[in-house]
Structure 1
Amino acid sequence: MKAVEIYIGTTLRGSARGIGKGMYIMRAHLADGRVHERMAAVEIDGATESRLALYCLRDSLARFQYACEVSVHTECTYMAAAINSHWPEGWRGMGWMTGRGTKVKDAGLWRDILWHLEDTGHALQAVAGRHEFSGWMRANLPRLYAPRDIFGEVAGEALNPVGYRSGGHPMASWHGED
């Protein structure tokens, strides 16, 4: 199985609600040694950190047509704990109710994520906490125009018109190379 890393960042933290932006960067190492990176963003009104992160995860998983070992790097500790503890599978078995008898928030997003995992055979694990793109995402997400359509691609220039094309910036390899 191919190994893929997904890095997710959001403008909202915790349970705060508002107009939030989320972004993900997918990275795969190709057989010829090149690194392939893609990114996309979303903007949602009335979102929370976990909802934005779930939208990003759902979209990124939908882009793969084959089984991958997927490592999700996110600052959303709730999403990471749910993935690593296999809570969504348990919620589905209980009719999308929690152990306390309340409805699971964002059950439709979790349902879609489980469907993608089962349809493609992905092996999913999550890593909670800051990741190598956290600072870059935190600086650029508020300035980013993120279409409401999660499937929209965001040009690298839209993130930083002045550019990180040179220097050792983590996204330098993304600009202009496919």
Structure 2
Amino acid sequence: MRVIVYTDGAARGNPGRGGYGAVLSCVTPSGKEHVLELSRGYERTTNNRMELLAAIVALEALKRPCEVELHSDSQYVVNAFNKHWVEGWQRRGWQTSQKKPVKNIDLWKRLLAAKEPHRVTFMWVKGHAGHPLNERCDQLATSAADSGTLDIDTGFVEGDAD
């Protein structure tokens, strides 16, 4: 099954209230299109954490191995895979090339686990440039961040802003 995914994260302050949005779409063998929208808001988090979480929850929503085309306006997320940063971090024991601990390690490990059963291609899309699905993800993320129902980002570490 081929799935097209768009994701976005948002933060009101960095750190501050945040949210993520994801839109997944696929066409079944019978030709029926299925679309799933996901979003959630958090009390205190960062933009990068929300960008990561959007990709994670989208991949975790898939119930069987899929070929996934994941579009994100986050170069942080896309370049981590396309420029092989993640492999370098793992080789160095989750340290950057500057020998500093990788930020958001909890979410990077969760993302690696979420993508494991799938063939995922990460594609960068320019944010706020009028692409309908990217704009929809932004709307989902910002609405979640602005909602009155906010969860706790248990992995957020104060002073660890991106």
Choose the corresponding residue for 1:107, options 105, 117, 122.
105
Choose the corresponding residue for 1:30, options 8, 28, 42.
28
Shift of 1:54: 0.8
- One-letter code aligned to 2:99: G
Aligned to 2:3: 4
User: Identity across aligned pairs (percent)?
Assistant: 22
Structure 1 pair 86/29, CA: closer, same or farther in 2 (3 Å)? farther
Shift of 1:89: 2.4
- One-letter code aligned to 2:79: A
| Contact preservation (8 Å) 2:20, 2:142 | no
Shift of 1:99: 0.7
Superposed CA deviations along residues 51-88 of structure 1, whole A, max 9, x for unmatched, are: 10111111111122322221221221211111212222
How far apart are the structure 2 equivalents of 1:136 and 1:32?
Answer: 26
How far apart are the structure 1 equivalents of 2:26 and 2:80?
Answer: 24
- One-letter code aligned to 1:67: P
Shift of 1:35: 1.2
Aligned to 1:166: none
Shift of 1:100: 0.6
How far apart are the structure 1 equivalents of 2:138 and 2:114?
Answer: 28
Unaligned stretches of 5+ residues in structure 1: 151-178
How far apart are the structure 1 equivalents of 2:87 and 2:37?
Answer: 28
SS at match of 1:72: strand
TM-score, normalised via structure 1 length: 0.71
How do residues 90-129 of structure 1 correspond to structure 2 at under 5 angstroms? 90-118=88-116, 120-129=117-126
Shift of 1:140: 5.4
Shift of 1:149: 8.2
Q: Point out which structure has higher relative CO (alpha carbons under 8 A, 6+ apart).
A: 2
Shift of 1:122: 2.6
- 2:64 matched to 1:63? no
